[in-house]
Amino acid sequence: MGQIRLDKLLADAGYGTRSQVRQLVRKKQVTVNGEPAKGAEQKIDVDEDQVQCMGRPVFYAEYEYYMLNKPAGVVSAVTDSRDKTVVELIEERQRRDLFPVGRLDKDTEGLLLITNDGILANRLLAPGRHVDKTYYAEVDGPVTQMDVRLFAEGLDIGEEKRTLPARLVIEESGRELSKVWLTITEGKFHQVKRMFQAVGRRVLFLKRLSMGTLTLDPELKPGEYRKLTDPELLELKRQGR
């Protein structure tokens, strides 16, 4: 990785702003290889030097990647004045610049990638990429084979262009409730809900199960998260090329 300024290392690791971590250095709260830091501008070899802040080891991570099973009631944002955010759920994060890749509505559950890798995020979210996103949904009333055909043809959801073809699979269709799987390749605002609204149905429950090559770990309960495995990250980066 090479060398990095001490104040940047500490700020990126979540110990405060540049000015705040400089205060920690001045107060002798930071050591490098067992000795008090010489100054906030001191260059640190992140592969060799051992840094501690207030007695705790400081580890540098250039990028972090987390799979989150987003619970309902939490917003897909970095900060929010009223509600808890998905980034706040990642308690063990080392980076302070994490953000969600894309958005899930406040009442929607499921897979969300949390990272600070802006290049990968832009590639996955680019409109021309058409990355598959699969959802499980429960809707009021019956869903029919006619709906399957309409979704495959593209729907008018009140925008200039119709939605791109989507794959709708009916698991169970009932008079009061239907259970379906839906795969779309876009990320329009409230898209899944608006698509069902276009065929006279209302979404009662929505959960994202996959995005591209990344599939939600069934072991993760709502609100739980884990770091991506090396194979998961490799496949995701391949897709984002």
Mean pLDDT, each 10-residue run in order, the chain (241 residues):
86 86 94 94 91 90 94 96 96 88 96 96 88 97 98 96 97 97 94 97 98 97 96 88 68
Report the pLDDT value the prediction gives residue 62, as an integer from 0 to 100: 85
What residue ranges do the domains of the chain occupy? 3-58, 65-127+214-239, 132-211
Report the pLDDT value the prediction gives residue 128, as an integer from 0 to 100: 83
Whole-number Å distance between alpha carbons of 85 and 75: 5
Report the pLDDT value the prediction gives residue 94, as an integer from 0 to 100: 81
Retrieve residue 33's tokens: 């290889």
* Assigned CATH class of 65-127+214-239: alpha beta
Whole-number Å distance between alpha carbons of 214 and 201: 28
- Could you tell me the pTM of the whole model? 0.83
Domain 3-58 falls in which CATH fold?
Answer: 3.10.290
Residue corresponding to tokens 């490098």: 32
Report the pLDDT value the prediction gives residue 240, as an integer from 0 to 100: 62
Q: How far apart are the first and last CA of the chain?
A: 22
Whole-number Å distance between alpha carbons of 198 and 55: 58
Domain 132-211 falls in which CATH fold?
Answer: Alpha-Beta Plaits (3.30.70)
Do 65-127+214-239 and 3-58 have the same topology in CATH? no
Whole-number Å distance between alpha carbons of 50 and 204: 52
Residue of 138, 224, 152 lying closest to 183 (CA atoms): 152
Q: What is the 3-state secondary structure (H, E, C) of 99-147?
A: EECCCCCCCCEEEEEEECCHHHHHHHHCHHHCCCEEEEEEEECCCCHHH
Active site residues: 105
Report the pLDDT value the prediction gives residue 12, as an integer from 0 to 100: 83
Report the pLDDT value the prediction gives residue 73, as an integer from 0 to 100: 97
Residue of 150, 139, 124 lying closest to 172 (CA atoms): 139
